[in-house]
Amino acid sequence: MQALNITPGELPPECEALRAEVREFIAENLGDYPVSKRVRNWSGNDPEFSRKMAERGWIGMTWPKVFGGAERTSLERYVVLEELLSVGAPVGAHWVADRQSGPLLMRFSPDVLAPKIVPKIARGEAFFCIGMSEPDSGSDLASIRSKATLASNGWVINGRKVWTSNAHRTHYMIALLRTSERSENRHAGMSQFLIDMNTPGITVRPIVNQLGEHDFNEVTFDDVVVPHENLIGEEGGGWKQVGTELAFERSGPERYLSSSQLLLEMLDAADPANPRHTVALGRITAQYATLRQMSLGVALMLSRGESPALAAAAVKDQGALVEQAMPDIAHDLFGGLADPDSTLAQAMAYTALAVPSFSLRGGTREILRGIIAKGLDLR
C-alpha cells in the first residue's frame, strides 16, 4: 500500500529576508485596507494592486527571465503568497494567470504562445479565467460538449461554460474543448485553447453568488474563431494537460488560508480568561499550524521537482474542513455578543456565506477523496 508522505521542513534564510520585504510592502499598500475587503481574500480583485506586485517582480516569480519572470525559487514564491493571503490582500486579478495559466503556456506552447502572452502576465497586464466546467459537466469533466472545429481560418468554437470566475474581468480564457467526437476512451478527443475574451461571438452573463456578488459567469461561444496557433499543446492531449493544470491549482497555501481573517478577528475578540475561548481557538490555531506544515511540505516537494498531487489534494481537503467549521465556532463563541457593525461580525457574516464553496471550487471533497484513495491504492 502507498503512504501519504508529507515531510515537514523549514524555509531557507533568504525566504525570511523576503518575508520582511513583503510585510513592508503590505504596510505601505494595505495599511488601511478594511476587514470588509480583507475577508474576500484571493477573491478580491484589484488590477492596480496586481500591477504593484508585478513591479516588485512578484507575479511569475519563478519563471525564466526570458518570459518576464524573476527566476526566484518556489519557496520564495510561497512566502510571498503566504504573507499576502494571511492579510487578505486583493490578489484575485492575476491569481489564475500566475498560478496556472502562465506555467501551462510555458510548458505546452513554449515557442508560440508563451513568448507572446507570458511576459504580459508577469507585467500584470494579462488576467486569465478557467473554462473547464459546463452546465452538465463539473466533477465529470470528461463529459464536456463544447467543441472546437478545425476550419481554414482557424478553430471555430461553439458551446457553453459555466461558473467561470472573473470571465467578465479577464483578458483570456484557457478552455478545455472537444476536438473530436466522444469515443470509448472517455479521455480522448479533448484539447486546450487560448481564447481572447474580446473575440466576437463570446457572451458573458453574470451568475450572482449567495453573497449577492458577481464573481462567476456563464460564457457562451457562438462560432467564435480563434487562430490555429491558439491550440495549446497537442490536439487530443487536453485531458492530460488539464491534470497538470489542476495540480498547480490545488497545491498552494490558498487552500487553507481563505478564512484567516475570521480567525484573526476571533483571536482579537477572545477573552483569555474564558476556557471555551482558549480551548476552541487553541484547537483551530493548532490545526492551522499543522496545515501550514503540510502545505509547506507540498511546497518543498515542488521545489525538489517531485509531483505532490496526492499531498496537495490532502491539504485542500483538510484545509476546507477546518475553514468550513470556523463560522459555526465563531457563532458559538461570540454570536450573541457581537456588535453587528464590528469587524468580527463582518468577518463572520461574510465567511459563513463564502465557506460552502471551498469544498466545491478546484474539485469537490468527494472527488479529492477519490484521488487520495486511488493514490493510496485503496480503490
Ligand X SMILES: Cc1cc2nc3c(=O)[nH]c(=O)nc-3n(C[C@H](O)[C@H](O)[C@H](O)COP(=O)(O)OP(=O)(O)OC[C@H]3O[C@@H](n4cnc5c(N)ncnc54)[C@H](O)[C@@H]3O)c2cc1C
Residues that bind ligand X (CB under 6 A): 129-133, 138-139, 163-165, 216, 357, 360-361, 364, 366-367
207: which strand partners? 216
- Which of 195, 116, 120, 180 has the alpha carbon at shortest distance from 150? 180
* Shortest distance, position 141 Cβ to ligand X, whole Å: 7
Q: How far is the CB of 109 from ligand X (least distance, A)?
A: 20
> Residue 137 has which C-alpha cell?
459537466
Q: Give the residue with the Cβ less far from ligand X, 204 or 345.
A: 204
- Pick between residue 69 and residue 131 the one whose CB is nearest to ligand X: 131
Q: Which is nearer to ligand X, 139 or 274 (CB)?
A: 139
- Angle among Cα 337, 341, 346 to the nearest 5 degrees reads 90
CB hemisphere CA count around 257 (13 angstroms)? 25
The Cα 134–Cα 144 span in angstroms is 6
Cell numbers describing residue 28:
505601505
Nearer to ligand X, 78 or 163 (CB): 163
Smallest distance, ligand X to C-beta of residue 372, A: 13
Q: Which of 118, 89, 115, 114 is nearest to 29 (CA)?
A: 89
Nearest approach, Cβ of 12 to ligand X (angstroms)? 34
Q: How far is the CB of 37 from ligand X (least distance, A)?
A: 18
Work out whether strand 172-178 and strand 190-196 pair parallel, antiparallel, or are unpaired. Answer: antiparallel
What is the smallest separation between the CB atom of 294 and ligand X, expressed in angstroms?
Answer: 22
Q: Which residue is nearest to ligand X (CB)?
A: 138
How wide is the angle at C-alpha 87 spanned by C-alphas 86 and 90, nearest 5°?
110
CB-nearer residue toward ligand X: 81 or 174:
174
Rounded distance, CA 195 to CA 227, Å? 9
Nearer to ligand X, 60 or 92 (CB): 92
State the Cα–Cα distance between residues 219 and 144, nearest whole angstrom.
14
- Tell the smallest beta-carbon distance from residue 164 to ligand X (Å): 5
| Sign of the four-CA dihedral 119, 124, 126, 128 | positive
Cα separation, 251 vs 47, in Å, equals 24
| Smallest distance from ligand X to CB 361, Å | 4
Nearer to ligand X, 209 or 342 (CB): 209
Q: In terms of C-beta density within 10 A (0-12 exposed, 13-18 middle, 19 or more buried), how is residue 54 classed?
A: buried
Which residues, in sequence order, are bridge partners of residue 79?
Answer: none
Nearer to ligand X, 114 or 144 (CB): 144
